[in-house]
Structure 1
Amino acid sequence: MPNARTIALFWSKVVKSPTCWYWTGAISAPDGYGRFNYQRDNRQRTVLAHRFSVELVHGPMDDGVVCEHKCNEPLCVRVHAKHLVQSTYSENVRFAIALGRLSGHTLLDGSGRSRVDRSIAIREALKFGYNEEAVMRAKTDPGPDQATLF
């Protein structure tokens, strides 16, 4: 179990909305998922932010157990039946294909934009806290090339 300082660091990078709890820390490419970096036993650790959240609630996950985003939001870290649940790899892939999140080896946001670009836009929209209008715009508007923002 992570120590209190690590847990506080994790939650300092989360912005809660009435539905999803959005990760605002590091984002990996090309999948657009949050990454949480922390120290444990004098070693640097990097984990999926949503997996860290599930393990905070349920404890360490067994081999073959993955996290499934029922809310279809890669940045969500809310452990809840309508958001983030434990699943199997095959069930998670089936769900992603059914929702249009996975096409071959390409991770999409449903409109053809890369998931990492979408996640970066959402993180930028949450820079000053939750703003529903800004988040909705980030989710739906591809906008300018996100690489020019950073």
Structure 2
Amino acid sequence: MTEDSEPGLWPSEQSDGHTPVDEPTSNSARARRYVDASLPPSKKDIARFWSKVVKSPTCWYWVGAISAPDGYGRFNYQRKNRQRTVLAHRFSVELTHGLLDEGVVCEHKCNEPLCVRVGPKHLVESTYAENVRFAIAMGRLSGHTLLDGSGRARYDRSVAIREALRYGYDEKALFRAKTDPGPGQSTLF
């Protein structure tokens, strides 16, 4: 598998462990829904995932749901009473390499939280400690504040990028989304 191809295979289900979560229903009774980290996606789920990705010449940007405050993409799928919500970039790595062990994190070598492109210049498997060291070295982590390297909240930057790419790749709109300091911050000149 090269970093320029979209992975689409999923390993066979490795465990059937799951955690119940209450789910409200239309009537007063509560149905049970199970969070299942081993739930394999269907071909339809995988196609839906890739429909929320915009490819640029460098990164492949997630334009679906984004969580606050970290600014990472989230992908959710479910079948019957089982569901899985996963970081979009982790899902992409798992499509390439199979289910990851619990202690494995996916490190963005490209420093782009919305990137889902797997490869040595983009997403690689790592450890939590290595990922934190890399984030600090790149200026992405300042104390407990998640910043984009220029002082803007990472969530705000991710939302701006998603909006810029809403209708497909637009180099100028992407540049503006990445470099605009946001409301309340004026430029120097």
Shorter-normalised TM range = over 0.9
Aligned to 1:141: 180
1:88 aligns with 2:108: no
Q: Secondary structure at the match of 1:36?
A: strand
Instruction: Give 1:60-71 correspondences, 5 Å limit.
Output: 60-71=99-110
| Residue type at the aligned position of 1:118 | R
What corresponds to 1:6 in structure 2?
Answer: 45
- TM-superposed CA distance for 1:40, in Å, is 3.9
Compute the displacement of 1:6 (Å). Answer: 0.6
| 1:77 paired to 2:116 | yes
CA distance in 1, matches of 2:76, 2:150: 30
Aligned counterparts of 2:79 and 2:145: Cα–Cα separation in 1: 33
Structure 1 length as normaliser, TM-score?
0.93
Structure having greater relative contact order (Cα 8 Å, sep ≥ 6): 1
**Corresponding residue for residue 90 of structure 2:** 51
Q: Report 1:94-105 matches (<5 A).
A: 94-105=133-144
Task: Identify if the C-alpha distance between structure 1 residues 61 and 131 changes in structure 2 by more than 3 Å, giving closer, same or farther.
Answer: same
Q: Is residue 2:73 matched to residue 1:31?
A: no
> Aligned with 2:161: secondary structure?
helix
Unaligned runs of 5+ in 2: 1-9, 11-40, 185-189
Greater C-alpha radius of gyration: 2
Q: Secondary structure at the match of 1:129?
A: coil
For 1:130, the aligned partner's letter is Y
- State the 4+ residue runs in structure 1 displaced beyond 6 angstroms: none
Amino acid corresponding to residue 100 of structure 1 in structure 2: G
TM-score with structure 2 length normalisation? 0.74
Paired-residue identity, %: 81
C-alpha deviation, 1:41, in angstroms: 5.3
Q: CA RMSD in A?
A: 1.1
2:7 match: none
Change (3 A) 1:54 1:41: farther
